[in-house]
Chains A and B, each alone.
Chain A
Amino acid sequence: MIDTVDLTKKFGDKTAVNGLTLHVNDGEVFGFLGPNGAGKTTTVRMLTCLISKTSGEASIGDYQVGNKNDQVKIRKMVGLLPENAGLYDDLSAYENLDFFARLYKVPEAQRKESIERFLKMLDLWDKRDQTAGTFSKGMKQKLAIARALMHDPQVLFLDEPTANLDPEASKTVRDFILELKKEKKTIFLNTHNLDEAQRICDRIGILNTKLMVVGAPETLMESLRGRRISVKLVQVNEAIVAALARTGFEKVTIEGNNLVIDVKDPEKENPGIVETIIKAGGGVQFVNDLRPTLEDVYLKLVRG
């Protein structure tokens, strides 16, 4: 659905996006992670035809980004939630949505139906006649997402949809994105929130001007450093560590009464580890799987 080849954007001497090559599948939720200034918003702006590309190729569906004849077609098939909700504070929730639906030429009957459907889904129907200026941040963000969906776009670009929201509002927005995922919409999600990316996205790309890595959250986490387990003992002693070393588990770290052990295949190796510890006189209380988090992957890549 979204393809870029060597996509680059320069502002004067500064390169904002450097040679981005990416493929996002139809119906996929793709998370774009990166620090401030990494080029995430610039990428979204290029793909939604808001700004031009300096070089490279990009396409949304069958349409070429940068081709003048395709620009309006791309804008019709994508929905954008920018970093700022950008609502008209003096217009009501209904009027805000109606205005944008009209710009997308949504027929009147469909317009009314969509507005009612989304406002009800987002618990805003009772407040449809209130001006957006009276809404909380979370309500504004929900309304802005509804605005991006008014014309039933095939592709949805969400730029930091939960930034600056309280936990409850963030959850509502995340749940709504998960609902959209069920509808098989292609979603391109810019976020700083690693937990959110891990929970929502099918695949994740980490950008720091250049695309550093792409993959499913699980794959990225496992690719970082294999797997580790943590064994909580009644009492750790050197004899247990030595016994583990003799059976091939040499990478063992002691953290209080926990032994953190590097393993390749925990499902097969855990019984042997537990047996070795017990034979060495240890008392096993818990065995936990220690997977690297997405944060570990992110920090390693971004900090180099």
Chain B
Amino acid sequence: MDLETVWTIASKDLRLFRRKKSIFYAVIIFPIIISIGLPGLIGYVATKASTSTAVLVGLLDSFSFFFAIIATIIPTVISSYSIVGEKVEKSLEPLLATPATDDEILLGKSLASSIPAILAVFLGATIFMILTDAVTYGKLGYLYYPNWNMALVILVIAPLSVVFSVEGNILVSARVNDVRTATQLGSLIVLPYFAIYLLSEIRLISVDTTSLFIIAAIVLVADVFLFYLSRATFRREEILTKWK
């Protein structure tokens, strides 16, 4: 595998994403809303006298998991364009005719989808932690973030989730013809994450360190499985003759 080729493909896609306003805003706006909106909500809850410290901490742990959800949603928008967009613009065939191997193209496109998503998660999480600490310090008496759970979410689960989302979207891209459908179908990948969040909100599970390790392990296994599946899907003959 030639990493220079991989980076050439990834940097071309990154340049295209910067110029596609819809993609640029989708990558930027969602994390900003979450990272500013959630601390606002937390600040409101924290000011209520009836809110106990335990309830507030449970809420903070659940909200931390939102960054795993963001990590799954953002690549949906990007990778839908990255692959289906090329299908729509008919630019895949010239690309496939170059000496770049299937794996180099796949990795380049995966990187291009992953890098903005991971950066957006890191940026959003940093803003979220600073603002949340600012609004909860008075109630808690200490800085809740950063902590191990948040580190686990943004450094382990978020990158694994980005990979999960990118691979899932490659599989979806093989079956659809327009970017919007790809984005909509790809968004379904986020459902298990929402399920975890909702279960944590109704206290059926707790988003503690153990749970997060288990979630990370499950996503890792899913990543490995989807990696082989997406690799089998992303073969030039399949793309040219079977992708609809």
Contact across chains for A88 and B89 when beta carbons are under 8 A apart:
yes
Shortest beta-carbon distance from B228 to chain A in Å? 19
Nearest CB to that of A74 among chain B residues?
Answer: B99
Instruction: Assess the A100–B20 pair: CB atoms within 8 A.
Output: no
- Asked if A86 and B89 make an inter-chain contact with CB atoms under 8 angstroms apart, the answer reads yes
Answer yes or no: A72 CB below 8 A from chain B CBs: yes
Residues of chain B within 8 A (CB-CB) of A72 are: 99, 101
Q: Decide: B16 and A88 in contact? CB cutoff 8 A.
A: yes
Distance between Cα atoms of A78 and B95 in the complex (Å): 13
B96 at the interface (CB under 8 A from A): yes
Q: Does B181 sit at the interface, judged by CB under 8 A?
A: no
Q: Within 8 Å of chain A (Cβ to Cβ): is B211?
A: no
A109 in the interface, Cβ–Cβ < 8 Å? no
B34 contacts which chain A residues (CB < 8 A)?
A: none
- Of all chain A residues, which has the CB nearest B20? A90
Which range contains the number of A residues in contact with the other chain? 20 to 34
In the bound complex, how far is the Cα of B239 from the Cα of A82, in angstroms? 15
**A89 to B, closest residue via Cβ:** B89
Closest to B9 in A: A103
The verdict on B53 contacting chain A, using a C-beta distance below 8 Å, is no
* Closest Cβ neighbor of B91 among chain A residues: A86
Q: Is residue A291 contacting chain B, with contact meaning CB distance below 8 A?
A: no
Q: When the two chains form their complex, are residues A147 and B94 in contact, meaning their CB atoms are under 8 A apart? A: yes
Say yes or no for B199: interface residue by CB 8 A criterion: no
How far apart are B195's CB and chain A's nearest CB, in angstroms? 37
B240 touching A51 by the CB < 8 A rule?
Answer: yes
A48 touches B97 (CB 8 A): yes
> Which of A82, A87, A147: most chain B CB closer than 10 A?
A82
- Contact among A52, A75, A102 for B97, CB-based, below 8 A: A75
| Shortest beta-carbon distance from B235 to chain A in Å | 10
| A102-B20 Cα distance, complex, nearest whole Å | 23
Q: For residue B96, which residues in chain A have a CB less than 8 angstroms away from its CB?
A: 50
Q: B48 at interface (Cβ–Cβ under 8 A)?
A: no
Cβ contact within 8 Å between B16 and A50: no
Q: Is the CB of A104 closer than 8 A to any CB of chain B?
A: yes
Instruction: Provide the residues of chain A in CB contact with B236, threshold 8 Å.
Output: 50-51
On whether A99 and B8 interact (CB within 8 A), knowing A11-B241, A80-B94, A82-B93, the answer reads yes
CB distance from A241 to the nearest CB of B (A): 58
Within 8 A of A (CB), among B187-237: 236-237
Does A95 make an interface contact (CB < 8 A)? yes
A42-57 residues at the B interface, CB under 8 angstroms: 45, 48, 50-52
Q: With A88-B12, A91-B15, A103-B8 given, is the CB distance from A75 to B99 under 8 Å? A: yes
Specify the chain A residue showing the minimal Cβ separation from B19. A90
Whether B12 contacts A144 by the Cβ 8 Å rule is: no
CA distance A260 to B93 in the complex (A): 50
Residues of B within 8 A of A105 (CB): 99
Q: Interface digits, A102-127 against B, CB 8 Å rule (1 contact, 0 not)?
A: 11110000000000000000000000
Task: Say yes or no: is A227 at the interface (Cβ < 8 Å to chain B).
Answer: no
| A235 at interface, CB cutoff 8 A | no
Interface string of A187-218 (1 = CB under 8 A from B): 00000000000000000000000000000000
Q: A89-B89, A104-B99 are in contact. List 20 more A-B contacts (CB 8 A).
A: A45-B240, A50-B93, A51-B237, A51-B241, A52-B237, A72-B99, A75-B97, A75-B98, A84-B93, A86-B89, A86-B94, A86-B95, A87-B89, A88-B16, A90-B19, A91-B16, A99-B12, A100-B94, A103-B8, A104-B98
* 15 A-B pairs with C-beta separation under 8 A: A45-B240, A51-B237, A80-B93, A82-B93, A88-B16, A88-B91, A90-B16, A90-B19, A91-B12, A91-B15, A103-B5, A103-B8, A103-B100, A104-B98, A147-B94
